[in-house]
Structure 1
Amino acid sequence: MLARTNIINDAIHQLFDAVGAISVQGYDEERKVVYWNEGSEALYGYSQAEALGQRIEDLIIPKPMRDIVVSAHTDWLNKGIEIPAAELTLRSKNNDDVHVFSSHVMFTNQNNEKEMYCIDINLADLKDAQAQAVFKESMLDVVLKATPDIFFLLADDGLILDYYASNKTKLYLPPNEIIGKNMVGILPPDVDKKFRLNIAKTVQNGGVTSFEYELDLPNGLTHFEARISHLSAYNQLVIIVRDITEQHKSAELIRQHAYFDALTSLPNRFLSLDRLSQMLKDAERNTEKTAVLFLDLDDFKKVNDSLGHEAGDKLLIEAARRLNLAVRKQDTVGRLGGDEFIVLLRTLNEDYNALDVAENLLTLFREPFKIDNRELILTLSIGIAISPENGTGASDLLRNADTAMYQAKEMGRNTYSFYTKEMNIIMLRRFEIEEQMHGALERSEFEVYFQPQLDVKSGRVTGAEALLRWHSPVLGNIRPDEFIPIAEQTGIIVPIGEFVIQQALQFLKLWENEHKGNYNMAVNVSPRQFRDNNLVSFIKESLHKEGISASRLEFEITEGVLMTGSSYIDATLTELHDLGIKLSMDDFGTGYSSLSYLRQYAFDVLKIDRSFINGITLNKEDCDLVKATIAMAHSLGLTVVAEGVEQEEQLTLLNKLDCDYVQGFFFSKPIPANEMIKFK
């Protein structure tokens, strides 16, 4: 029997020795180690030699557990109460925690003594895995609480199995009513359709499907992005929903800046031309007509100059509102920039045509604008181009409408004009002049001519008017009435005007030195020059440089300068008058309010326009008007100059009417300086 027991123990030890991955220890009745395999050495760090003969509680049992272990071992020996298998945390040689699953068996050896064997399985990897799982679960919980997204777990048929939302105000249903509902049945019809289609698409194709939608929630319209992923192994869907309202607003703001005018909220040039291109394509496909109306607010600059840009902005906003009143929803009103607008008319017919719209617009603008407790009258100049007659491309049609608008300006403003080929020729000429004008001054293409002025009574030359002439090597001789308005509009008139003043004063000095006499020099000043802050200082310097008395210089002012009503005009005229420079009212009789200007400003000279002089010998009305004008001027202490005198009969009559000075082709046309110096 003893031999058999020894054989059993040896066999058990051989078995445990062969299983090095498992820790096995044997203990006698006093809990001393009688067996210690390689697995125990690896797990606890004690070699077999170190472990044999040592009590279990002294080797691997932590102090808090020692009494329990000793008591349990004793109860098994004396009372037969087995120690149950359990997870334990023991101690290694290095005093580290060792997590094991420990099972116990009891043998009786060859000496009829009981031995307990402990089989310990290392749970370190399992514990690490559990710790990782707990950590990940905690981390996931933190992430879910921190993220604003909403998570849904759905069955393939759309049934909501679970959800998580850190902000429950973003939920469409109350939180307690969500689980168990079907996602494709609880949302508004348009949103429901999107979910239904995208869920089916994701289940069929896999991957991730995303789409956007919006919901009207208690806190306002909210924009969402949904991402759907299919868990095919579980026949489930994960939907992540994110609030993208702010991104949507930012994108909309960017779109607004890119395609719409910031002040009026109308489509800008880019969007207007894009819509026009689309309209033209539709019109061509349907054999229909499309019209472009190019609009410019007449004299808008006067508002900015006199009332300020804030008032001007308010005026533009109100103008945009009125323009929208005149068109249908399918038409487009856009702002091209400044005071220029565009109206695109889709699908013209007998009942709705460009002419009716243009007349309606003019009528709408006849009503005064009420801006900052002021009533302002603002009119329109409208150019109209119709496709396909006037062009089939957006750029061509816009350009032709622009050309027609300039024609409306020439017609007196507050009207409309349809595009013609003749207009295009006029505009091409204008563009050529503008192109050649740049650099013309530097290339010495401008020259100042002089037209003599004579005393009516004595016939003696008393002065001259300086008149600008331009000979372009490319375009030839260009009339002043062609290039002066363009120079005014482009601002080039400022350096050109300075050139005229310099040349006029230089010639005046030479003229007076040559003839040892005193002469007057009349120079035209344009509205744009008056906006130049350096005008007065430049004149002072020029007079000083040439040694010319200010009383010899006369500035001819047209009604166009005075009509702006700007404060800087008043200030500049006052400064010029205080310098001793004479001020002349030019083209008197052609405007509407010249008499009020004579009372308002300190004029010295009045020039009667040539249109009245032409008829004084032909009809009594013109003669009476000139007679009355001369008498009125003299009563105001003004000197009178008649321009455009071409016949001796006119001169004789002007002499009888007591006109002071004359100029015109009867005496001399405008001539270069070298001829004027010899003129007597």
Structure 2
Amino acid sequence: MAIEALNGSIWEWDDKSEILYLSSTIKDILQVKSNIDTFGKLFEFIVPKDRTRVEEIISNMCNKKIVEKFDIQYTFKNTKGKEIIINLNGIGRFKEGVFYLAGIINDITEKVKQQQLIEEGNKKYKLVVEGSSNIIFCIDIEKEKIIFDKKIINYFQYNHDSCIGLHGEVIITLKQWEFFIFSKDVKSYREKIQKLLYGKDTVDYEVEYRLVSKENKIVWVHASGKRSIGDDGKMYVYGSLIDITDIKEKELKIYFMSYYDEVTGIANRRLFVENVNKSLKSNKGNESIAIIFIDLDNFKYINDTYGHNLGDSLLEKFCEEMYGIIDGNSHFARLGGDEFVIAKTKIKNNIEVEELIQAIIKRFNDSIKVDGKDVYCTLSIGVSLYPFDGENLDSLLKRADIAMYKAKANGKNRYQFFDINLLKEFNRDFEIEKGLRTALDKNEIIVLYQAKVNTFTEEVIGYESLARWNSSELGIVSPTEFIPIAERTGLIINIGKSIIEESIKRCKQLSLTTNKKFKIAINLSGIQIRDDEIVDFVSDTLKAYNLPPSYIEFEITESIIMKSVDKNIDILKKLKKIGVSIALDDFGTGYSSLSYLKILPIDVLKIDKSFIDGISIDKKSEYIIEKIVDLSHCLDIVVVAEGVETKKQVEYLKSIKCDIIQGYYYSKPKSFELAKKMMLIDLN
């Protein structure tokens, strides 16, 4: 019954009777009804390709009476045409002088098919493993050895044949494997693997770590595995290594782009904020933190003059120099553009901060060698202190920024600590900026006109247009307050265009009431002259009001011109080509280089009030004024003295033949209607 359950048939043959006995199961296997009692009848069912081999084996056993075990695998084809894979085993023996062969015939068709499927699966699995970039490994926990497939050799060189297995696999100890792991990752790897090998609850693990390859390159791998019991009852870990170097490099690149500045390679705002917030959180309470806000003075001028490539190189060089000054208790970052910030931690007193800032300013008072050029780049610095000026980074940064702008406003190349008065100034500036944004729409900005008088005839021969602002919320705001804010915010562009149009319109009206030749002078700021549309706007506005260009004069200070000499001179030449005249304002307060008078396209030179105030008081001022007048006349340039307030000043200016006088002595700035009357009457 047991044999039948195994789909087998018992057989026996002896050389005395030469009869083959087969149990009944053979009939089911071969699908026959008659008895099979000879080997010959049985062999008829064997497929031709196997028959001769089986006949020879059985005949040999019978004829030679071999007393041995034998085992044959072959294929039957039954009466239904179905092929059946058979395993015939038996043994020869003698009993009472008779030679017997006996054994079992088993149908192993399904078993063979299953084995073929397993082998095919193993073959495909082997191809998958070989075709995959993954490295398969097995850890023998008892022997503390790790076995890798042969692909591991692509990464590491093994010099001992004892490491190489029969099929090219690499066998090393767990300790040896740690020699290939990057030193900083050994600890975390060891913790994970020890927990897997010897922990009771852990059967799976995943870990990422770095390896050092045979080319001494860093290779990132993702290792995963599972602990299980092998066929021998021992504990093993089966897993794989995946090379994730490309993924990690991309992750690092994304991380760098997220946390570091692309140009300089230093921390950006995001990383700075995270690091400083950690410092604030861990602060013990008895240590101050300084937020030092740094702005590079005139960086835009350097970019415009030398180009952006040199500008980028300057930023890199600046950072190199800064790292030579700051210490390990500082976080340094680029916020954007030409703005940088330092957070100095563990400060005991303000003297530490001042010493650091003074060292920074001192270093950048000297030139920096950039791309073979000596570049000067001074700094404006603002400082706020935790916890005195704020308890969170956002407020500390804002207040350090406010202090920095104050340092810049005070002349640059200096530093300023935040105090509450600066906040009041900042809030005032904020309110002014907010009001300016709607001032034009509300018609709050008006134009007043200050007369220019011929020194000798005392006739009004022109005016200077001056903007004034009477805010509905702030009241009268001085131009010294709102003009710099308008320039800084760019609002001066639209305000300036409004003043230009208003001045040209009034000039046209005045020209229709008198035959006198006169000019109205309009101030241009640095922002306006850099506006690409300024020349076309002036030309179009003159045409719109049908006003000859000779009625209009534009005033620009020498300091503005010198910020970008070539470009600004080009704009001035284009304006002159329209037909307007150009006046150099505040002469003597900026660069004061007389050599520029011969290259600047100017028609008028205005002597600053600071020199005029020295008349009758300071001989040096009088001497300078006199020489300016003489030189200007030699160059066919008209001279205007502005800020004239006394009779003595007027008399002196007449004596040196200054052409035009402007100031309170003759007139304060007036509305257009009042200013117009001055031209139509005799001032005497």
TM-score, normalised with respect to structure 2: 0.86
Q: Which range moves more in the overlay, 448-457 or 224-233?
A: 224-233
The answer on 1:91 being equivalent to 2:77 is yes
Pick closer, same or farther for the CA change 1:439–1:117 going to 2, 3 Å.
farther
The answer on 1:514 being equivalent to 2:479 is no
**In the aligned structure 2, how far is the partner of 1:523 from the partner of 1:56?**
128
**In the aligned structure 1, how far is the partner of 2:513 from the partner of 2:338?**
52
Pairwise CA RMSD of aligned residues?
3.6
C-alpha displacement of 1:50: 13
Name 1:112's counterpart in structure 2. Answer: none
C-alpha displacement of 1:268: 0.5
Pick closer, same or farther for the CA change 1:650–1:349 going to 2, 3 Å.
same
The answer on 1:124 being equivalent to 2:105 is no
Letter matched to residue 660 of structure 1: D
- Percent identity over the alignment is 27
**In the aligned structure 2, how far is the partner of 1:301 from the partner of 1:187?**
54
SS in 2 for 1:61: coil
C-alpha displacement of 1:653: 3.0
**In the aligned structure 1, how far is the partner of 2:222 from the partner of 2:191?**
15
C-alpha displacement of 1:317: 0.7
Name 2:47's counterpart in structure 1. Answer: 62
C-alpha displacement of 1:58: 8.8
The answer on 1:229 being equivalent to 2:226 is yes
C-alpha displacement of 1:77: 8.1
The equivalences for 1:630-649 within 5 A come to 630-649=629-648
The answer on 1:612 being equivalent to 2:611 is yes
Q: Which range moves more in the overlay, 593-602 or 81-90?
A: 81-90
Q: Which range moves more in the overlay, 436-445 or 605-614?
A: 436-445
The answer on 1:252 being equivalent to 2:243 is no
C-alpha displacement of 1:144: 2.8
C-alpha displacement of 1:164: 1.8
**In the aligned structure 2, how far is the partner of 1:679 from the partner of 1:48?**
144
**In the aligned structure 2, how far is the partner of 1:105 from the partner of 1:371?**
97
Letter matched to residue 578 of structure 1: K
C-alpha displacement of 1:579: 2.6
1:164 to 133, 146, 149: 149
Q: Which range moves more in the overlay, 660-669 or 296-305?
A: 660-669
**In the aligned structure 2, how far is the partner of 1:58 from the partner of 1:241?**
55
SS in 2 for 1:166: helix
The equivalences for 1:209-224 within 5 A come to 209-222=205-218, 223-224=220-221
C-alpha displacement of 1:278: 2.4
**In the aligned structure 1, how far is the partner of 2:213 from the partner of 2:253?**
22
Name 1:662's counterpart in structure 2. Answer: 661
1:152 to 117, 126, 137: 137
Q: Which range moves more in the overlay, 68-77 or 82-91?
A: 68-77
Name 2:343's counterpart in structure 1. Answer: 344
Mapped contact 1:640–1:660 kept (Cα < 8 A): yes
Mapped contact 2:54–2:72 kept (Cα < 8 A): no
C-alpha displacement of 1:303: 1.1
Name 1:102's counterpart in structure 2. Answer: 88
C-alpha displacement of 1:47: 6.2
C-alpha displacement of 1:159: 1.5
Letter matched to residue 195 of structure 2: K
Pick closer, same or farther for the CA change 1:80–1:660 going to 2, 3 Å.
same
Q: Which range moves more in the overlay, 130-139 or 327-336?
A: 130-139
Pick closer, same or farther for the CA change 1:631–1:104 going to 2, 3 Å.
closer
Pick closer, same or farther for the CA change 1:293–1:40 going to 2, 3 Å.
farther
Q: Which range moves more in the overlay, 439-448 or 204-213?
A: 439-448
**In the aligned structure 1, how far is the partner of 2:5 from the partner of 2:245?**
64
Mapped contact 2:403–2:418 kept (Cα < 8 A): yes
**In the aligned structure 2, how far is the partner of 1:105 from the partner of 1:177?**
44
How many pairs are equivalent? Answer: 656
Name 2:266's counterpart in structure 1. Answer: 266
C-alpha displacement of 1:555: 0.8
Pick closer, same or farther for the CA change 1:171–1:140 going to 2, 3 Å.
farther
SS in 2 for 1:616: coil
C-alpha displacement of 1:246: 2.7
Q: Which range moves more in the overlay, 120-129 or 547-556?
A: 120-129
Pick closer, same or farther for the CA change 1:16–1:479 going to 2, 3 Å.
closer
Mapped contact 1:642–1:659 kept (Cα < 8 A): yes
Mapped contact 2:142–2:234 kept (Cα < 8 A): no
SS in 2 for 1:631: helix
Pick closer, same or farther for the CA change 1:38–1:443 going to 2, 3 Å.
farther
Letter matched to residue 184 of structure 1: K
Pick closer, same or farther for the CA change 1:65–1:151 going to 2, 3 Å.
closer
Q: Which deviations, in whole Å up to 9, do the C-alpha atoms of 1:426-471 show, x marking residues without a partner?
A: 1122222223333433443322222221222222221111112223
Q: Which range moves more in the overlay, 394-403 or 120-129?
A: 120-129
The equivalences for 1:185-584 within 5 A come to 187-188=178-179, 193-202=187-196, 203-204=198-199, 205-222=201-218, 223-232=220-229, 234-283=234-283, 285=284, 287-349=286-348, 353-584=352-583
SS in 1 for 2:114: helix
Q: Which deviations, in whole Å up to 9, do the C-alpha atoms of 1:310-352 show, x marking residues without a partner?
A: 1111111111111111111231221110011112212224697
**In the aligned structure 2, how far is the partner of 1:480 from the partner of 1:334?**
36
1:140 to 90, 107, 125: 125
Q: Which range moves more in the overlay, 262-271 or 541-550?
A: 541-550
C-alpha displacement of 1:368: 1.4
Mapped contact 2:329–2:346 kept (Cα < 8 A): no
Q: Which range moves more in the overlay, 648-657 or 308-317?
A: 648-657
Pick closer, same or farther for the CA change 1:192–1:644 going to 2, 3 Å.
closer
Letter matched to residue 566 of structure 2: S
**In the aligned structure 1, how far is the partner of 2:394 from the partner of 2:368?**
32
SS in 1 for 2:149: strand
Pick closer, same or farther for the CA change 1:239–1:80 going to 2, 3 Å.
closer
Pick closer, same or farther for the CA change 1:16–1:495 going to 2, 3 Å.
closer
C-alpha displacement of 1:365: 1.0
Mapped contact 1:33–1:55 kept (Cα < 8 A): no
Letter matched to residue 221 of structure 2: F
Name 1:182's counterpart in structure 2. Answer: 173
Name 2:682's counterpart in structure 1. Answer: none
**In the aligned structure 1, how far is the partner of 2:4 from the partner of 2:204?**
52
SS in 2 for 1:523: strand
Q: Which range moves more in the overlay, 468-477 or 583-592?
A: 468-477
**In the aligned structure 2, how far is the partner of 1:566 from the partner of 1:346?**
43
SS in 1 for 2:468: strand
Name 1:12's counterpart in structure 2. Answer: none
Mapped contact 1:158–1:184 kept (Cα < 8 A): no
Q: Which range moves more in the overlay, 211-220 or 173-182?
A: 173-182
Mapped contact 2:569–2:601 kept (Cα < 8 A): no
**In the aligned structure 2, how far is the partner of 1:39 from the partner of 1:517?**
139
SS in 1 for 2:563: coil
TM-score, normalised with respect to structure 1: 0.86
C-alpha displacement of 1:369: 2.0
**In the aligned structure 1, how far is the partner of 2:315 from the partner of 2:599?**
31
**In the aligned structure 1, how far is the partner of 2:543 from the partner of 2:328?**
64
Q: Which range moves more in the overlay, 468-477 or 265-274?
A: 468-477
**In the aligned structure 1, how far is the partner of 2:432 from the partner of 2:80?**
100
Q: Which deviations, in whole Å up to 9, do the C-alpha atoms of 1:461-517 show, x marking residues without a partner?
A: 211111122233333332222222222222222222222211111110011112343
Letter matched to residue 428 of structure 1: N
Pick closer, same or farther for the CA change 1:174–1:132 going to 2, 3 Å.
farther
Mapped contact 2:146–2:173 kept (Cα < 8 A): no
SS in 1 for 2:513: helix
Mapped contact 2:203–2:228 kept (Cα < 8 A): no
Q: Which range moves more in the overlay, 203-212 or 534-543?
A: 203-212
**In the aligned structure 2, how far is the partner of 1:358 from the partner of 1:18?**
99
Mapped contact 1:383–1:401 kept (Cα < 8 A): yes
**In the aligned structure 1, how far is the partner of 2:529 from the partner of 2:73?**
101
Mapped contact 1:214–1:221 kept (Cα < 8 A): no
